[in-house]
């Protein structure tokens, strides 16, 4: 027998692990605060215990809760990324839920025991989704610390075509499509048929998941829309 408070706690822990794992696999940058808020919203799903309804309505209700949870945890950048996040979230949910159901986690004693096994289960699932990770190996979570104290959490894409280097500072240029209140400099860049200038600023520091903290970066500003990411990384970052 599991009491309601124990069930709420268990549901929160499992949701947190699934969302955190989804973030790591999809390499979507988020914050622990957003994940916690998403988990708290997910506690609404406990209501199904007190509903006398059909299985179809119950499934639709839980699916709706999951859609909102993904939106809270990772936001909405574009429809493709949102759908991918939903697929990851439900894939991990079904895998983890199926595993726990198989072991028939009914008692508090088992509940505590299997909580310890959940991280091991999720690490095992990493191998199941290895091909997905390979397909997403050009995606990086990027954190930019601005000079005014603000912090940008971005989803970066490693573009082999971006080799822009500032000829004065010799710093690598990454590009974002956000307007930032900073002191700008103009950096020349070449296209196929002409030469132009791009507004850039020197951030306080940049942290790229998997590449570490970087102080050799300038941030360029563009008005172009990106699909599936909001930070275009520099190919030269992979050479170090």
Place 8 in a pLDDT band, splitting at 50, 70 and 90.
confident
Residue 13 pLDDT exceeds 50? yes
- C-alpha–C-alpha distance, residues 21 and 212, integer Å: 20
Q: Is pLDDT of 193 > 70?
A: no
For residue 176, pLDDT beyond 70: yes
Name the E strands within 101-214.
139-145, 151-159, 172-176, 185-190, 195-201, 205-208, 212-214
Average pLDDT over residues 98-103: 52
Helix (H) or strand (E) holding 219: strand 217-221
Share of the chain above pLDDT 90, in %: 23
Between strands 185-190 and 212-214, the pairing is: unpaired
Percentage of the chain exceeding pLDDT 70: 76
Residue 195 has pLDDT above 70, yes or no: yes
List, in order, residues 6 or more apart from 62 with CB less than 8 Å away.
45, 48
**Average pLDDT score, the chain:** 79
């Amino acid at each position: 027998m599991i009491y309601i408070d124990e069930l709420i706690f268990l549901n929160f822990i499992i949701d947190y692990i699934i969302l955190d794992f989804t973030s790591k696999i999809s390499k979507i940058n988020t914050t622990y605060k957003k994940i916690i808020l998403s988990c708290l919203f997910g506690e609404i799903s406990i209501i199904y215990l007190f509903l006398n309804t059909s299985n179809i309505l119950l499934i639709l209700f839980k699916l709706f809760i999951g859609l909102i949870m993904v939106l809270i945890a990772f936001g909405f950048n574009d429809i493709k990324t949102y759908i991918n996040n939903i697929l990851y979230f439900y894939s991990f949910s079904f895998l983890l839920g199926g595993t726990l159901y198989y072991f028939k986690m009914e008692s508090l004693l088992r509940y505590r025991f299997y909580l310890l096994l959940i991280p091991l289960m999720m690490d095992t699932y990493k191998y199941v989704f290895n091909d997905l990770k390979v397909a997403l190996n050009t995606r990086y979570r990027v954190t930019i610390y601005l000079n005014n104290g603000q912090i940008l959490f971005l989803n970066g894409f490693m573009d082999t075509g971006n080799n822009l280097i500032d000829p004065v500072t010799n710093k690598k240029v990454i590009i974002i499509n956000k307007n930032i209140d900073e002191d700008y400099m103009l950096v020349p860049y070449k296209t196929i048929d002409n030469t132009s200038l791009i507004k850039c600023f020197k951030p306080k520091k940049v942290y790229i998941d998997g590449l570490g903290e970087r102080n050799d970066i300038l941030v360029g500003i563009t008005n172009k829309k990106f699909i599936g990411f909001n930070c275009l990384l520099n190919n030269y970052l992979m050479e170090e």
